[in-house]
Structure 1
Amino acid sequence: MKSSLLRSSVLLLAALAFCAGNLAAQQLVVSSLDASKFPTITAKVYLLDAAGKPLRDVSTRTIQVRENGTERRVTAIDCPPPVPVDALSSVLTIDVSGSMANTPDGRAGTPNMELAKSAAKAWIQGLPEGRSECAVTTFDQYGQIIRDFTRDRADLLSAIESLRPQGGTEYDAGLRNPPAGGLVVAEKGKHRRVVIFLTDGLGGGDEKKIIALAQQNNVAIFCVTLGMPAPDILKNIARATGGEFYEYVTTVPQAQAVYRAIQYRALGGEPCEVTWESLPDCNVNRNVSLEVPSQGLAAAMRYEAPQSSVPRLEVLPPSVDFGAVAIGRTEKEELTLRAVGRDVTITSITPMTPKGQFQLDAPATPFTISAGSSRTLAIRYSAADTAYRFARWAIANDACAGAVVFAAAGTRARPEPSIRLIRPNGGERFIAGSTTTISWDGVAPETPVQLEYSTDAGTTWKTITERTSGGSFHWKVPATPSERCLARVAEIDTAATAAADTGMRLTGAGEVILTSAFSPDGTMVAGASWSGVVPVWDVATGKKIRTISVGMNGPRPARAYYVEFSPNGRQALTAAEGNIVSVWDMASGREVAKFKGKPYNKTERWNSASTEGDVTPSPVFSPDGKKVLLMDENYTPALFDLSSGRKLRTFGEPQNGEIVTSAMFSSDGTRILTAGPDSAVRVWDAANGTQLQKIKHARKTEGATFSPDGAWIASVTTDDTVRIFNSITGALAQKIRPGKRYGASYLRAMFAPMEKAC
């Protein structure tokens, strides 16, 4: 989490309600939040009432800010006076693709089409009386003018009410393609020209041409996305044309508030700048509420504070080793305690082992070290013999993590290690984003260890760090909520590792790697990581040659769970939470395509590690590298053109609540194989979508795969059976029962390269 999280340029939405009545009057809109100068935080907020008018008499005394429930001191508020615009020529450009019939999160709620209608109506009703004019256009894969410029509000409201979802999503159709693109219509506007572009999906569009046309005609574009992050193309269009972008709109009050804020901005207004002072805290994830209690208005937002803001006590060095000390001599080593983040009070220093010949010289507790200051302690060792001895002290303090000091001396054969975990030792509860200390003993301080944790009572384990030493480790607790957490420590056998590790260790991802992929020529390897980055390494040198950031999921990076190289190795495809699938140019690192969907047969799992069989070798890219096969927003297999981003066709659709569970290309790319719904496996013509073969099963199908030559199909059903069929005739050739599966895992089938085994 670097500076991209310290300066949030995304436009955040209010989501905090005071009471059940009049929700529209309770929404504030936050246009940006800047934490780059922590602890000074600045947010730009549209302080508007339900009618879209600026609040009066707003001051530092009338606004309250809380972070994680704790009130912060508001130091300044600046509301620039508006520079009024006489009239607007606005174009409401609304996505009417088929997915607009869905709700933003696919669950119970208001359909996207109704969100769009409520926002558009708020815009029309809020237009100033007089010369302002408005037009309504829609788009799917084509554009349509629903109403040309008019001042007749009743006519505009009637036009909005008539909208119905259908078709696909094409940004060019909505913005620049004549005759109905929003920019084409806006060109005829007589007053200040603005386009409000609303969508719930990813679409193809020529960013440069859209921006050029908008700038040529002096049109500001404001972009709004429903239930999804704003794609880079829309962010760039908004920024380049003097507009703004808003993302993750999911409710009617949010949609209406956003359109009122855009209207206020279009009419010459600017957001207020609210500044407050944060404080150090153990949790870097800050949930912020900004309230105007007298008006019943509130906004909610999030940001991540820098790790340097976490109060902690540093011990340098964390361990000392006196080595060989002559019998009868006393040696002294010094260590430093340093307070980071704020003043730290040392409440006790307690021996964790018999002191023996060690003595720690420290002030009487409690004592306080000022922020940024340090205190020097001394450890003395008086040698009575040359045997190996060690001692440990726990330093209790009021910072976010305890501290441990380790000392060792002696040169005789050191005892066999009996490593054990000291903290956590059961019963602790940790907050996601907070920093805690993991400590262990039973080995020398310089002995390297590996730390792991589990969220499923030890069924699977995730790596905290592959290698550390010193007896303690500061760990930032990840967002993996569970009541079944365990931790473990293991000594690394350095001799065995050196002898056995003839391969290459690739490092630098900064987080857990969920899946990885080699390029076709074997020269590169890429890894999809928990932290939302996809590092790419040169296999020959082990050096990281590129890092791809897959984007944001709300206020934090989206976790990447899949990566795949194109057949020619010039591009890579990534899949991340939030239904974000992107294609990247490997030479430049530039994103060349983006889709809303998920790859088939790939695990999207955050609470446990991937296990063998979770991922099957069925590429998302077509064999010629020109198309991709994904599950679209309607849970249907869909073929997309890579160059244009256009959806070419779909293959089947959900039936009776069941969806297609797997989909893949044949090796020559001419056919597509799907499994489910209705307990069937189907073969489709990739060129025209015609169903070529349907193979019914008595039990539900969990997956299916082609043999390398496409002659055979292997299917897996819920009765733990693998069946082999002729892909042309559909005739059953073989039935295999590999044995009972483990737990709730899925069976997967794949053919051996020589096609003689499955």
Structure 2
Amino acid sequence: MKTNIRHIVVVFLVIALAIFNLSYSLCAKSLHFIEYSINQFPNVSATLFYLDSNSKSINNLSKSDFLIRTNGVEIEPASISFPEQNAFESLSLLLSLDLALNSKQGDKSNFDLAKELLAAMLELFDYENNEFALTSFDWMSYLNSEYTNDKQFLKEQLSLLKTSTGSKLEQAFLDDPAGALNIAAKSKYRSSILLITEGGNVANLPDIISFAKDNHISINVISFEKTISLDLKSLAEESAGFYFDNVANRFEMQDLAAIVHNVLWNYKPFHLNWESPLLCEDLYSNEIIARNEDLKVDFSFIAPSRLKPTLQFNPNYLRFSAVQPGTNKELFVNLKAINGDIIVKGFSSEDSRFEVLKGALAQNEEVLIKEGDSIEISVLFTPSDSAVLFSKLTINSTACLGKELIMTGGFPNTPPIERTLKIEYPNNGETLIAGDTASIKWSGLLPDDVIQLEWSRNAGKNWDTLSVDVTGLEYKWQVPNIESERCLIRAIQLWPNNIGETRSLHHSAGVNCANFNQKDGRFVLTASSDKFARVWNSNTGAEILKLIGHSKSVLWAEFNHQETLIASASEDSTAIIWSFPDGELIHSLIGHKDIVSSVTFSPDGQKLVSSSWDGTVIIWDASSGEMLRQIQCSQGKIWHATFNKDGSEILTAGSYGKAKLWNVNTGSLIQVYDAQKSNEIISFASFSPDDERIVTASWYGVASVWNKASADTIFTITHKDEDGGLIPLYSAGFYVRANELVLLTSGIDHARIWNGNSGELKAVLSEHSSSVSYVTMNFDGSRILTSSWDSTAKVWNLDKRDLQMDTTDNLFSILKQKAKAYSFDLGKVQAGSAFDTTLNVFLENLSSFAYPIKSIELKGKNSDEFQIISLENASTLDSLEKKAVKIRFAPQDAGERTCYLDIVFSKFSLKAEIKARAFNLPLFIKNNRINFGTVEIADFKDSLITAAIKNISMSPIRCSSIILKGPDDNHFDIIHSFEPFTLLPNEEQDITVRFNPETLGRKNGLISFVHNADGGESLLYLFGEGINPLIDTVSISIGELSASPGDLVNIPISYKKKSQKSISNNFKSIKADLSFNVSLLEPLMNAEEDNISNNIRTISLEIPASNEDFNFNLQFRAALGNDTLSQLKLSNVQPVGHSKVHLDYKSGLFHLKDLCKEGGIRLFDSNNKLLLAQNKPNPFENQTTIEIELLEEGMHSLLIIDETGKIVKNVFAKNLQPGKYCFDLNCSDLPAGMFFYLLSTPSQSLIKQMLIQK
């Protein structure tokens, strides 16, 4: 659910299903659900409006006014909160309706619903303190009503609106001049736009948002899309607006009108909060009930499973492993309460061999586990045989999750008596998609139990291996790209799981030894020169534990027989005891003075013996880590030491060609096994399983089997190279396999298997790439473990055993996805317009099953002119579905247009081709938009369109009618009568249109030219604004001024606006004539007209109109003149522009002072004066004429200067006599631009400006 309300932040972190039942009554109070949040579940918050009969928000409520009912459980609200209400006093609201709302919702179209919504809103508005405007749009925006308080007029205009074939969302806002932003920018109050649309993308989105922000316009969106487009969402959020989407499915229009009305005026909904019960159901169905009014709203959501009350097990399951029949084993597990208190009512096991001991409950007894607390229980396993057993312990409790604890027991190589393995999926005739990924699931094993998966495509006639070494109770299968309806899956649990193959376990340095755990061989322990010992899963090769504590190479590591401890020996002169399985360091055994080469447990696990290069072995207490006895072996470096089977004796391997047998309790020497090789190393020595023989391995290449008691040699074996040379050996040991004694040896070359009684070679294990440091066998002889200095240990599987197998109960199918995409021709569409159409079947599923769609996108050459408006369930193609899509085509210019819908599935893709033809209207309107600007009411303005309409086709066009149509057809007129006519190719027809506003405000109309060519209609767009008649009063005046001869005189003309209102923009300036005595003043500025008659000089002036008072300054130079007084007379004063202006004006007077009566230089003389006339013509292209009149004799010059002050031409520089001169100036060598010409005389200089245009 996606409702965004200004100033309300609601965050959804779950996938929610919302079902609404909104109560509404025109004559009573109403309760309206907006949205909910379960972000803090089980705390739930609902956002609501509670409205009175006038749809005004009610805020004086308490939590006791409401009751919550969730899945039938009644809940009192925890709190109710009302945000501070800062409602707007006045609002300028512009309603903008998309005319292309053509999709259907049941019996009604979205357009009908939108008009129903707006009609309901018009009934709710306060027309006294607000103003309202109405626009509509397709590919153009229309002003249906200027801002008004006339409810009836708005209703009439709304009723006249009709649907269009398509629309462009950006035109709703930016179309000039009737776009919503232009209209809203002239609002009286706080400005807000309400857009009602089916949605889509918005071109020029940043421009729209920027304009809205700059002009403080909020944009709000009502979208009939199920999910609002990102563009529209951004538009609302960025402009401080709100949005509602999927409104047809969520609201009755009258309900929505009431909600939107309140949100527009900044009324905020209240929040009701409560703590939901923690239920085991997924779907929470909620009712909010207003007690006193018997009103209610319903909504539902799916609560996250992770928040359900849960019993958490530690460990996650119980593995009893190998327990001898007739004995028993007890394991412990903690039960922890998560997400609430949990009551445990009892335990039951489906197999009597598993029994709860600690924590068992009597009948009707219960135990409460507080949230976060735990209890410990124990389970006793008493097997009746060695077979693998799988069972579940059921916990009867109030928990939703954690009701069953999985348990297994038995020897891992012994098949269960009753099969526990069960394939869960596929198992019921499912259909899998070829090439897709399917999850094969099974139960009846622990998650780390390994199986092999096989499948058959012919009902079991033939089987193919699907995967081996699979764990986790689930396998992601890449379904093969074949088809069959006779498929089966089977799962096989094998022991061991990888027969005939080795599994490599990798260190970063050489591996010095590797040992199985002794009970079932599930674990492998390795010791490496990388300073670490590691524990591995022997079946999967997964690393389980890394033991970090030694500072140098680890040479030996092994489990105790009880599998609770690990001991390791290192070159750092220490041995360490670790706990298992947590890997905690318990004791560091410090006592040796050199490398500790080995450390082994006694069979009862109470003691350890360590061997060292310091020539001693030490016996330790395994529990305390204390030294019990140290034996000086007198055989050089000790390479290995081990206990016999009852722990009473120790066998050591030393450096002087000898192995020795010692009494554990006394430390006394019992026997010496002398190889008669005093300089050779005995690298290893061990006992036979019956404790009657020992075997030694040596660096001189011989493994010797000895009688333990007599120390006689029974036989020897050797490793030889290709030349027959002996190869040094590192280990040798006896083992039992299939009731036969075998001997394993390892050396520089390989590991080998021998007959333990005869010494006959049975097999060579030769996968390592470097020396094999150690070889051993698991408890039942089915697997061998080797370690090597090639940085690996390897598990070798010697034979296999099927423990159990399960096959799917029913045949399932593998079918290929089959779909078909269809092509469409949209036909002819006018360029510049928009055309929306629904492609009813663009994609068809030919398969009888559903499958996902990865993406559907428009691509191709002209894809930018197409847009997907709506597409239901774009992520899934249902079984045999025929999918539809709504497309918008908005061509910019004429021509063929193509694109395609690119439909991508997991393994293939399809293309739905789309083509169309865009055409220009054959009956062309040269200027198809006329903006009359502002016109005073009761006045008019005509617009004569020369060649208004023209036939640009190759065929005659018959124009059957010219119709003036809305939105406003009252204030625009066509100024000539009309008769049908025919226009030949390239023929034109003029038309005159008049705007005659009778009322204030902006108006919008259309003229329709109906014809028989493509498109059938050409439209002329009309716009204008009616304004109040303006009569402006302005005065201009000149005061009295005086100056001395030769002074520069600034004569100000005072401009004053007497109207309080701003003057009309149509009032441009004031034109006037100024007359004065020619002998007293010479103007220093240019005048459009300059005439001298009867000693009176008259110049023309143009004073710009302004809303501010100012002085319009004129510059003159005072002369001696023939008088001392001159009137400055204003005449012919008149306004410029289409406006009504009343002008007052007053003339002035000039006095000449400081006149020299004794004579002197006369600077200016009416008959003989220094004159630099304005060049004529000006501006000019190449030729112009300059006149001068000189007063003095001497050197004179005339220069042409550019705007930078640079001299670009020297016209003349010579001696001249007083008099008049005329010069023709050729400037063809100068570029276009502004220039100055400078006249210099012996006593003064004059300069004027000229303009060259080319």
Report the TM-score range of the alignment, normalised by the length of the smaller protein. Answer: 0.5 to 0.7
CA separation in 2, counterparts of 1:215 and 1:497?
Answer: 73
Q: Following the alignment from structure 1 to structure 2, what is the Cα–Cα distance between the partners of residues 498 and 234?
A: 64
Q: Which among 20, 26, 30 is matched to residue 15 of structure 1?
A: 20
Distance 1:627 1:110, change over 3 A: closer
- Equivalent residue for 2:99? 96
Change (3 A) 1:331 1:119: same
Deviation of 1:60 after TM superposition, in Å, equals 0.6
User: What's the CA shift for 1:198?
Assistant: 0.9
d(CA) in 2 for partners of 1:79, 1:50: 20
1:455 maps to what in 2?
A: none
Match of 1:315 among 307, 313, 329: 313
Which aligned pairs between 1:434-513 and structure 2 lie closer than 5 A?
Answer: 442-443=444-445, 446-447=448-449, 491=491
Match of 2:1141 in 1: none
Partner of 2:406: 405
* Conserved 8 A contact 1:202-1:596: no
The reply to whether residue 392 of structure 1 matches residue 392 of structure 2 is yes
- TM, length-normalised to structure 1: 0.57
More helix by share: 1
Q: Contact 1:450 / 1:467 at 8 angstroms: preserved in 2?
A: yes
Matched to 1:290, the amino acid is: I
Query: CA contact under 8 A between 1:199 and 1:224: conserved in structure 2?
Result: yes
Report if the CA contact (8 A) 1:348-1:397 is conserved: yes
Higher relative contact order (CA 8 A, sep 6+): 1
SS of 2:213's partner is helix
The 1:440/1:664 distance shift into structure 2, 3 A limit, reads closer
Which amino acid counterpart does residue 144 of structure 1 have in structure 2? Answer: Y
Deviation at 1:379, TM superposition (A): 2.4
Match of 2:195 in 1: 197
Q: Distance in 2 between matches of 1:423 and 1:685?
A: 46
Instruction: Render the CA deviation track for 1:705-725: whole Å, top value 9, x for unaligned.
Output: xxxxxxxxxxxxxxxxxxxxx
**Equivalent residue number for residue 163 of structure 1:** 161
Q: Secondary structure at the match of 2:104?
A: coil
One-letter code aligned to 1:600: F
Which residue identity is paired with 2:195?
Answer: F
Offset from partner CA, 1:372-429 (integer Å, 9 cap, x none): 2222122234577755444432223232243133121324333495524799999xxx
Q: Is the Cα–Cα contact under 8 Å of residues 13 and 249 in structure 1 kept in the other structure?
A: no
1:301 to 287, 290, 299: 299
Alignment-mate amino acid for residue 859 of structure 2: F
Residue 263 (structure 2) aligned to one of 249, 262, 265: 265
1:324–1:409: 8 Å Cα contact kept in structure 2?
yes
1:600 pairs with 2:842: yes
Q: Match for residue 54 of structure 2?
A: 51
Shift of 1:277: 1.6
1:75 aligns with 2:71: no
Cα separation, 2, equivalents of 1:193 and 1:70: 46
Could you tell me how far apart the structure 2 residues matched to 1:308 and 1:209 are?
45
Cα separation, 2, equivalents of 1:233 and 1:617: 19
In structure 1, distance between residues paired with 2:256 and 2:158: 17
| 1:669 match | none
Change (3 A) 1:604 1:333: farther
Q: 1: CA distance between counterparts of 2:155 and 2:445? A: 75
Change (3 A) 1:82 1:177: same
Q: Is the 8 Å Cα contact of residues 637 and 663 (structure 1) preserved in structure 2?
A: no
- Give the distance between the partners of 2:29 and 2:156, measured in 1 at CA: 27
Task: Give secondary structure in 1 for the equivalent of 2:108.
Answer: coil
1:363 paired residue number: 360
| 1:621 matches 2:859 | yes
CA deviations on 1:231-272 (whole Å, 9 max, x unpaired) are: 222222222222211122127963233333333233342221
2:55 is paired with a residue of what secondary structure?
A: coil
Does the residue aligned with 1:276 lie in a helix, a strand or coil? strand
1:493–1:381 Cα change, 3 Å:
closer
Question: SS in structure 1 opposite 2:330?
Answer: strand
1:327 to 1:254, Cα distance in 2 relative to 1, 3 A: closer
2:89 counterpart (70, 86, 91)? 86
Measured at CA, do residues 45 and 684 of structure 1 come closer, stay the same or move farther in structure 2, by a change above 3 Å?
closer
Offset of 1:92 from its aligned partner?
0.6
Shift of 1:450: 12
Q: Is the 8 Å Cα contact of residues 41 and 276 (structure 1) preserved in structure 2?
A: yes
Unaligned runs of 5+ in 2: 2-8, 429-439, 454-467, 476-487, 502-816, 820-836, 873-882, 904-909, 920-1254
Partner of 1:430: none
Alpha-carbon distance in 1 for matches of 2:11, 2:65: 27
Shift in Å at residue 609 of structure 1?
4.3
Q: Is the 8 A contact 2:897 2:915 kept in 1?
A: no
CA distance in 1: counterparts of 2:138 and 2:79, whole angstroms: 45
Q: Aligned to 2:139, what secondary structure does the other structure show?
A: coil
- On the 8 A contact 1:322/1:410 being kept in 2, the answer is no
In the TM superposition, what are the counterparts of 1:204-243 in structure 2 within 5 Å? 204-226=202-224, 228-243=226-241
Structure 1 residue 178, shift from structure 2 partner: 2.5
Instruction: Please give the secondary structure, in 2, of the residue aligned with 1:7.
Output: coil
Which TM-score applies when normalising by structure 2? 0.36
**CA distance in structure 2 between the partners assigned to 1:252 and 1:386 by the alignment:** 63
Whole-angstrom distance in 2 between the partners of 1:411 and 1:8: 45
1:324 is displaced (CA, Å) by 3.5
The CA distance in 1 between the partners of 2:254 and 2:285, in whole Å, is 23
Cα distance in 2, alignment partners of residues 227 and 299 from structure 1: 23
Cα distance in 1 for partners of 2:353, 2:139 equals 77
Cα distance in 1, alignment partners of residues 473 and 349 from structure 2: 14
1:15 match: secondary structure = coil
Structure 2 vs 1, CA of residues 419 and 326 (structure 1 numbering), >3 Å: closer, same or farther? closer
Q: 1:304 to 1:492 in 2, by over 3 A?
A: farther
Could you tell me how far apart the structure 2 residues matched to 1:305 and 1:687 are? 52
* SS in structure 2 of the partner of residue 125 of structure 1: helix
Where does 1:134-173 land on structure 2 (aligned, <5 Å)? 134-173=132-171
Task: State the 1:327 CA deviation.
Answer: 7.2
CA displacement 1:153-198 (0-9 Å, x = unmatched):
1000111111111122322112233223222211111101111111
| Structure 1 unaligned regions, length at least 5 | 427-437, 452-465, 474-487, 500-561, 565-594, 652-661, 666-671, 675-682, 690-758
Partner in structure 1 of residue 68 of structure 2: 65
SS in 1 for 2:292: helix
What letter is aligned with 2:93?
Answer: S
Equivalences for 1:443-592 in 2 at 5 Å?
443=445, 446-447=448-449, 491=491
Mapped contact 1:391–1:406 kept (Cα < 8 A): yes
**CA distances 1:348-376 after superposition (whole Å, capped 9, x unpaired):** 322212417x6654321542322222221
Is the 2:423–2:491 contact (alpha carbons within 8 Å) kept by the matching residues of 1?
no
For residues 618 and 126 of structure 1, what CA distance do their matches in structure 2 show?
42
Task: Select which of 344, 347, 370 maps to 1:346.
Answer: 344
Amino acid at match of 1:200: E
In structure 1, distance between residues paired with 2:347 and 2:324: 28
Mark the CA change 1:450 to 1:171 in structure 2 (over 3 Å): closer, same or farther.
farther
Per mean C-alpha deviation after superposition, the further-off stretch among 129-138 and 375-384 is: 375-384
Matched, 1:125 2:123: yes
CA change 1:41–1:360 in 2 (3 A) is: same
Letter in 2 for 1:375: I
Contact 2:94 2:192 in 1 (8 A): yes
8 Å CA contact 2:862, 2:898 repeated in 1: no
- Secondary structure in 2 matching 1:196: strand
Instruction: Give 1:631-650 correspondences, 5 Å limit.
Output: none
Residues 633 and 180 of structure 1, relative CA distance in 2, 3 Å threshold: farther
The SS at the match of 1:184 is helix
Cα pair distance change 1:174/1:297, threshold 3 Å: farther
Partners in 2 of 1:299 and 1:77 — Cα distance?
Answer: 16
Against the structure 1 CA distance between its residues 141 and 66, is the aligned structure 2 distance closer, same or farther, given a 3 Å change threshold? farther
Offset of residue 25 of structure 1? 5.6
Q: Could you say what secondary structure the match of 1:294 adopts?
A: coil
Q: Which residue of 2 aligns with 1:176?
A: 174
Is the Cα contact below 8 Å between 1:12 and 1:31 reproduced in 2? no
Aligned 8 A contact 2:209 2:235 in 1: yes
How far 1:303 moved relative to its partner?
Answer: 3.8
